[in-house]
Chain A
């Protein structure tokens, strides 16, 4: 079977990153925003894995890196959600555009 070229992965990652960014910047629901951020991080992970297999000088480090970043992403998400919970208790909403008491 023929190898999928590196460029394909990179494009995929880039697309994924952009989708994530788009979601993070447009969605009203904070949960979805957090998920979109996960998407962006995962896009990076795809890069790492792809590079570690098909990069200029393939090495295992990339996969290690991606493992770490997955964990970190999880932790970040957890913290994010926890904070969202606290906020939800006070404001009874998860709409991100209603969090604007601090401004100017």
Chain B
């Protein structure tokens, strides 16, 4: 199957093309085509994964374009990392598509939605399979397009429009860095191919400074896609898209692409300590930064979005501290439980048509299936022991500790605390207490519950592929046979870390419980309503405003400057030239006074001038 792995992305593409053309006729049944297609590619990817476990990396390429002496190639590659992500992506995509069948019921542009989903899945899978940076960039952008289309699915909503635009442009800023990095790498190593690049780096063909620069530019791309600070602010706005989309793209797959990028180009980073530092710091900062914002938001999806950002920060932190396995591990687990959370949130929104958590409450009894599933997700993300989140987060903390980066380590700890706090703030506000809205909400249809169920299971047990007790299969699998990867399959850390992590997360839950259920502690215990910090957090540290007043204004200003040049400098010049010619003409016409004697004078003057010049120069000038 491995040699046919290229089929995996193409099947969803094919389905989406079909839907694009015949969508009008198919209507709701479009869902089945989409689901079927992605199901097939899921099965294929599972097969590939199984084959890969005890087979070497498989790679196949064709010449894409010849420029100068260089052949730019395109193809696909089946590495350990690829296969894992293949499975993850196709699985989540499949579940989300099943989910959407119920969620999007009655939507006029139902088939279009599935077309977009299919296209996105294609792009994401293609990204994962890319054997070289150029192809990766190629799909990288297409993924962005998919995300753009799906965010803007409700195009008639102004917010959706703005969000879509913002998402595309902000990520593109990062992508520019990636593009430049690719170009620089090409001129330094003469190839886009990962293997060749790594080998020539290994051979130390690139100077340290240049390497750092390249790594940072690469990271810029990752920052854009994974919504890391400072390019994070598009992700919360992206929640304007339909909830399944948020689950698929903005929780599980696309946003993880940034992490994937860093992971896949890990040898480049590991070659430059500065770059590693930066990744770790940005990751750590983003983690706590986003978590702190999540504390005070009141839109359920936005809270989850910020939590996503924060979790991605975790992964970056992991990679930055050489926790290669940890990063990937958390990427997988997070994909499951965050998707679960989003889908659950979706089913809640589906039921009561609001996203404001203060308008919710007391749903526990009403939604018998959604509620426990949401709870699983919540527990898993807040790292309660024995759930997947617990293990992956522990892995990260350990790698941070082993790396000896204690500041970041403690930041991660605190973030763990904050995480569990805001997640359970969310949980309690939604499910406990008195219902605030009179909407008679019923449980969501089976098509929506089933995916949640599956994800729930995964959220619980996906952690056991990499545990300190039962061995680190994941790590082994990833590291084995990858000669460019100089990291341990599993980093050993002191046992107390695990305990501490558990304590932190549980205390977070406890605090939330006390505040929002028991209400023994006032809500203003931590931060007073309307206090400076509170407003700052509610306004997300005024990041958007800052951007508007700096970048936005600068661009506008430059544009105006150009238009002034156009109007006054160039226009003025045109005006001057034409004016001169015209005035010359009128002068000549005025000389033509109609007085024949004037003409005579002109003749005589002409003669005189010629003769005089001739006389003065003695007729011997040249």
Interface residues of A (CB under 8 A from B): 21, 24-26, 33, 96-97, 99-104
Pairwise interchain contact A26-B597, C-beta atoms closer than 8 A = yes
Q: How far is the CB of A99 from chain B (nearest CB, A)?
A: 7
- Residue B494 at the chain A interface, CB threshold 8 Å: no
Residues of B near A101 (CB, < 8 A) are 594
Residues of B near A100 (CB, < 8 A) are 593-595
- Partner of A24 from the list B590, B595, B600 (CB cut-off 8 Å) is B600
Closest partner residue, chain B, to A104 (CB atom): B589
- Partner of B594 from the list A21, A26, A104 (CB cut-off 8 Å) is A104
Pairwise interchain contact B600-A103, C-beta atoms closer than 8 A = no
Pairwise interchain contact A99-B594, C-beta atoms closer than 8 A = yes
Residues of B contacting A: mostly: helix
Pairwise interchain contact A99-B592, C-beta atoms closer than 8 A = no
Residues of B near A104 (CB, < 8 A) are 589-590, 592, 594
- Residue B58 at the chain A interface, CB threshold 8 Å: no
Q: How far is the CB of B615 from chain A (nearest CB, A)?
A: 14
Residues of A near B590 (CB, < 8 A) are 104
Size of interface on B: residues with Cβ below 8 Å to A: 11
Q: How far is the CB of B584 from chain A (nearest CB, A)?
A: 14
Closest partner residue, chain B, to A99 (CB atom): B596
- Residue B473 at the chain A interface, CB threshold 8 Å: no
Pairwise interchain contact A25-B604, C-beta atoms closer than 8 A = yes
Pairwise interchain contact A96-B593, C-beta atoms closer than 8 A = no
A-B contact pairs, 29 of them (CB 8 A): A21-B600, A21-B604, A24-B597, A24-B600, A25-B597, A25-B600, A25-B601, A25-B604, A26-B597, A33-B597, A96-B595, A96-B596, A96-B597, A97-B595, A97-B597, A99-B594, A99-B596, A100-B593, A100-B594, A100-B595, A101-B594, A102-B594, A103-B592, A103-B593, A103-B594, A104-B589, A104-B590, A104-B592, A104-B594
Residues of B near A21 (CB, < 8 A) are 600, 604
Residues of A near B592 (CB, < 8 A) are 103-104
Residues of B near A97 (CB, < 8 A) are 595, 597
Q: Which residues of B579-607 are within 8 A (CB) of A? A: 589-590, 592-597, 600-601, 604
Closest 7 CB pairs between A and B?
A103-B594, A100-B594, A104-B589, A25-B600, A25-B597, A104-B592, A25-B601
Bound-complex Cα distance A21 to B593 (A): 20
Bound-complex Cα distance A26 to B604 (A): 13
Bound-complex Cα distance A89 to B434 (A): 117
Bound-complex Cα distance A26 to B598 (A): 9
Q: A103-B594, A104-B592 are in contact. List 15 more A-B contacts (CB 8 A).
A: A21-B600, A21-B604, A24-B600, A25-B597, A25-B601, A96-B595, A96-B596, A99-B596, A100-B593, A100-B594, A100-B595, A102-B594, A103-B593, A104-B589, A104-B594
